[in-house]
Amino acid sequence: MNTPAPIALFVYNRPWHTRQTLDYLQKNLLAAQSPLYIFSDGAKTDADKASVAEVRKIAAGISGFKSVTVIGREQNMGLANSIISGVTQLVNQHGNVIVFEDDLVSSPYTLQYFNGALERYAGEEKVMHISAYMFPLQDLALPETFFFRAAFSWGWATWASAWKNFEPDIDKLIAQFDNEKINQFSIEGTMNFWKQMLDFKARKNNSWAIRWYSSVFLNGGLTLNPGQSLIHNIGHDGSGVHSNIEDMYGVQVAQQPVKNYPGVLEENKQAYDAIKYFLKNRKGSILQRGMRFAKQLRSKYLLKKQ
């Protein structure tokens, strides 16, 4: 295997989540050979200064990697600008990058999966993105890894050659869609990806991820995904900048290494159908939705009490 790719970790004001993310990253098989770059955004308000400082103290004390570089921003860039800037910096420096946010716990084999895929598909222009998260799908016959169209942002990797296709201008992106492309982009209407595009244009969100996925989609790109998730998102407790309190995306993280990668560069129809079914039915019955709503209210109340 080539030299492991650099890891970019984007953090802000959540010390506990940051510690969890780093603890699990340290346990990865290739951690000691991987350079880690921690991008710490500046405080947006005075109320955030103490927690930002605590996160930076955690970052400064981290070991267990080939090297640790902490980039502390003096000003608040916001998550989108921070990620776009950091990813661009590292792919220009190293040619590829593995990207984590501060609420992702990983399998011991996540870095191994990323690096294996980065090496295997280097130079394959059609493969633009590697995802480590996968929904809790019911189809147990899915392959170990597969190609899909959507780019998920809960732990991912890419190359400089793919990232150069990132288009940040939402108007340029929207102009390239017709009704059929919108339908396919939205997994036949089962996911609100197009709404996220329109919300960005209306300044209702500041998502870098939806612009990256649309850039991949419009370039005919593929994303590699694991059949069993190698990432679990712990940020759906209401503490994150952009997270909602949801448990429908909870997974059991894989505890075995990925050994097989697809040889044919095309979307896997079986996986597409399984993901579409999950997205269509993920909210459950009216009773299940009511129970989840009650749980969300309770979690919000407890967070306010802290």
Residue 106 lies in a domain: yes
136: in domain: yes
Average pLDDT over residues 252-280: 97
Instruction: Give the domain CATH number at 153.
Output: 3.90.550.10
Q: What is the mean pLDDT of residues 106-135?
A: 98
> Domain range holding 114?
7-165+219-305
- The two beta strands, 222-226 and 96-101, are unpaired
User: What integer is the mean pLDDT of 236-251?
Assistant: 63
Q: Are 292 and 231 in contact (CB under 8 A)?
A: no
Q: Is the pLDDT of residue 236 over 80?
A: no
pLDDT, tens digit, for every residue of 193-205? 999 999 999 999 9
The total number of structural domains that make up the chain: 1
Instruction: Collect contacts of 282-289 with beta carbons under 8 A, ≥24 apart.
Output: 282/135, 282/248, 283/248, 284/248
pLDDT, tens only, 141-180: 899 999 999 999 999 999 999 999 999 999 999 999 999 9
pLDDT of residue 211: 99
Q: What is the pTM of this model?
A: 0.91
**Structure tokens belonging to residue 85:** 């800037």
What pLDDT is recorded for position 245?
A: 42
